[in-house]
Structures are given as structure tokens and as C-alpha cells.
Amino acid sequence: MGAGPSGLSVAENPIRYGDILMRKHLPQPQGQASDPRSQLDLFAPRADRLPIEPITVKISTAVRITGIGRSKLYELIKAGEIEKVKIGASTLLSVESLRRLLKVRANADEKSS
């Protein structure tokens, strides 16, 4: 491998991203146990990095994830079938109420079939 600006080979030269030093792909000295705390893996699943499920979503997101049209969503909100929260100019919809609506409608379709 070619030498980097420090004179070290690319494999020996840690890559800097901001203040984070990435040593994940550096070769480990033979005969020494690797300490996982010394290696930083930004993409490893950790308890503090688990995906967080949203409690509410904006109208545009609800349209995208449910496939229900914008006008129909507003009708369902007006009918009280979907819970909304107004914060400033934003209208947020409860994800739980969207799930409940879809579940109730799916069950109603099964019963009518």
C-alpha cells in the first residue's frame, strides 16, 4: 500500500472524521487480545443507538407510510378516527391511532368477506 502524508501506510494510518478516530480496520498485533473498547464502530447496534419508533408523525409522513391520501386523512381526523396533536403550525398524528384505524378496517374487511 502507498504511504500517506504521515509516512505511514494507509493500513497503519487511522482515518479521522471530525474528532472521532476510526481504528476499526487497522490490523491487530498478533498474540495480543483485541480490546473492543479501543475500536470504534459507528455502525454497530448498541443499546443507545437502537432505532426509536416515533409516537407521532406529520401528515406527509402518514400519507407515505399508510398509503391513505391527504384529503382522506383530514376526513378521518375530523371524524375522530385518528388522533391529532397540534403544536405550533405542525399537525402531528398519533402512530398508535393510525395502527388502530388500519387494524379495525382490516378486521372489518375480513368479516365482510
pLDDT in tens, 29-71: 555 555 555 555 555 556 666 678 899 999 999 999 999 999 9
Give this prediction's pTM: 0.55
Q: Where are the domains of the chain?
A: 1-50, 56-112
Is residue 87 classed exposed, middle or buried when 0-12, 13-18 and 19+ CB atoms within 10 A define those classes? Answer: exposed
The residue assigned the cell 491487530 is: 28
Q: Give residue 29's pLDDT.
A: 56
- Indicate whether 17 pLDDT > 60: no
Q: Give residue 109's pLDDT.
A: 84
Q: Give residue 91's pLDDT.
A: 95
